[in-house]
Amino acid sequence: MKMRIVVVGANAAGAKAASKAKRINPKAEVTLIDRGTFISYGACGIPYFVSDTVADVKELMSTAVGVVRDAHFFKKVKGVTVQTGVEVTGIDRESKVVHLLDTSTGQSSSLGYDRLILATGSSPFIPAIDKVGLPNILTVKSIADAELLKNCAISGDRACIVGGGLIGLETAEALQKKGMRVTVIEMRDQLLPGVLDPEMAYLVEKHLRQQGVTVMTGCAVTGFIGHTTVSAVRIGGQELPADLVVLAPGVTPNVGLARAAGLDLGVTGAISVDARLCTNDPAIYACGDCCETNHLITGKKVYIPLGSTANKQGRVAGINAAGGEAVFAGVIGTSILKVFNINAGKTGLSESEARANGFDVETVLSPAHDKAHFFPGAKPIVLKLVAERTTGRLLGLQAAGEGAVDKRLDAAATAITFHATAEQLSQLDLAYAPPYSAAMDNLIVAADILKNKLAGHARGVSPHDVKRKFDAEEDFILLDVRSPAEYDETGIEGATLMPLGLLREKLEELPRNKEIITFCKVSLRGYEAHRILDAAGFENTKYMDGGILAWPYPLRDAS
C-alpha cells in the first residue's frame, strides 16, 4: 500500500513540504490541502505589489520562469494533489484521519493519512479594541489583502499603519508611493522593536521622517472612530484622522487544529516540535509559521516567523514525513528590510536581547561606505557588532544605511552560526575590489574595533548614551576633534571644538576632573583623541561610537 502523506496549508512551508516529500518518496500519495483559493504565493511581496513595484499579483504566485503555482502546476509538475477551498476541521489521531469541509458547498468528507504535516501558518494579530472590524481597517497577509489594500490606496488620503515592524514599514512606503499621507504608530518607544537596538532604529526613523512619513512611537491605539468606515484612530485622548488603517502589530501562530487534536504547544504558544520537526505524535510534523524553533545562541525556544525559515522547515518536514532523515537545527533571527532608500537588518542577538539573556557584552558602532569611498555610488552604512566580553564570541550584528547591508549581515550570520570570535571575524578573507568594498571591509573594521575594546585599548559610548547624558544635564565634555571647517558646516549641539591636530598642545585647557567624550565624523579621529588623552593621564575619557554618521538625532545647523 502506498504511503499517504497529507499536508495542511499550501503556502511557503506546506508547498515546500509536499514537493519535497514527493521527491523523496515518488510512490507516496501526497495531498496538499488549503482553505484558501491561492496557494504557494510570496506574502512578503505584498507591499511591493501595492506600490506597483510588482505589476501583477500573479507574479507573487509564479515560479522564476513565470509559471503560476496553482493546483494544475502541482499535479503536473510535482505529482502532488491539491485541494483548495477545503478546511481541515479536525484530526482523528487514533484512526489517522483528517476531517474536511468544502467551504463552497458545505460538504463534509474525510481523508486518511500515514503521515500528516501541519503547515497552518499564522494570522495577523487583531487587537481587541473598539470598532477594529470596520471595513477599511485592513491587514497584510493574503492575496485578497493585497488586492483590497491596493484598491483602497487613494492618493491624497490619510493612512495609519498600526505597528512599526518589518511589514508595517514596508507597507508605509508602499502606501506613500501611492500618494497617501502616511503615519506609523508604534506602541513601543522605537521602530523595529525586537530587531534593532534604539540607536540603530533611530537611524531608520530619521530616514522615514525625511521621506515625509509621520512617526509616532510610544503610542498605543485605544480605539477607532467611524460608522460605516473608519474616520479616525484614537490614541489616548487624541484623535488622528484616517481614511485607511493597516494593522501590522505582528502575527500569531494558527494552532487551533493542533490544540484540538491534543498536540503539545510550546512556551511561545506555537506548536512544539523536535529537531526533526516532529510533534508529540510520531505521525504528525509541523513546519513554518505555526511552530516554534530553537535559537542557536540562547538555546531557548523562540517564535520568529519568516518566509526563509518556513521554506527550510518545509523541506525538512517533507523529507522526514516521506521516510528520510533530516534535522532543522534552529535560527539566529536574521531579518532585513528595505524602506525607501535605507536598508536595515539584524542577525543574532541585539545588545538588549543579549543582556536580557544574561550575556556580558561589548558593542561597537562602525560607520563606513559600502564600497571604496572614491568609487561612484558608494553609500554609507552603520554596523553595530555585539560580542560576549569574556570570550570575544560574536553574538549579533545590526546594520542600517543606504548602502549594501545584506552581504555584511550574511557574512556575520555565517560567522555567528559557527561560533566565531571577533578575532576570527577580523581574519576573514572577504572579497575586495573598489566596486564592492573598501580594502578593509567595514565588517572587518568593526571586528578590529571590537578587539581593541575587548583588550582594554578603547572605551566607547553610544550616541544614545551621549544624548541621554545631555538630556540628564550631566557634567561632561563632548569634544569635537574635527577641523574648524567641518565644525562650521554642522555638528552636535553642546559639543566643544578642539581639532585633533591641536589637541596635544592644548591638553592643559581641558579639565582633568570631568568625563571627556571625543568624536569626529566616524570616530576614527575620536578614537585617536581618546588614546592621546589616556596617554596624557586623563582618567575618565571615552570616544563616541560611530561619530556623527551614527548620530540619529538632529544636528546643529551650519554656523
Q: What is the rounded CA–CA span in Å between residue 430 and residue 437?
A: 9
C-alpha cell at 426: 577580523
Could you tell me which of 510, 550, 551 has the C-alpha nearest to residue 534?
510
Beta strands in 130-248 (DSSP E): 137-138, 158-162, 181-186, 214-217, 223-226, 230-235, 238-241, 244-247
Looking at the DSSP bridge assignments, the partners of residue 8 are: 33, 118
Exactly one of 44, 278, 287, 520 is catalytic; which is it?
44
Look up 520 and say whether it is catalytic: no
Helices (H) and strands (E) in the chain, counts: 16, 30
**DSSP per-residue codes, 498-543:** --HHHHGGGGGGS-TTSEEEEE-SSSHHHHHHHHHHHHTT-SSEEE
The full 3-state SS of 419-454, as one line of letters, equals CCEHHHHHCCCCCCCCCCCCCCCHHHHHHHHHHHHH
* First-to-final CA distance of the chain: 84
CA pair distance 364, 385, nearest whole angstrom: 5
- Residues 27 and 2: beta-carbon distance below 8 Å: yes
User: HSE on the CB side for 235, CA within 13 Å?
Assistant: 19
Question: Phi then psi for 16, rounded to 5 degrees?
Answer: -65, -45
CB atoms under 10 Å from CB of 451, counted, come to: 20
Which of these, 385, 375, 308, 300, lies nearest to 346 by C-alpha position? 385
Q: CA-CA distance, 354 to 123, in Å (whole number)?
A: 28
Q: What is the spatial distance between Cα 304 and Cα 306, in angstroms, rounded to a whole number?
A: 6
Burial class (CB in 10 A: 0-12, 13-18, 19+), 84: middle
**Residue 73: phi, psi to the nearest 5?**
-60, -45
Say if strands 238-241 and 230-235 run parallel, antiparallel, or are unpaired.
Answer: antiparallel
Across-strand partners of 238?
235
CB 205 within 8 A of CB 215: yes
Active site residues: 44
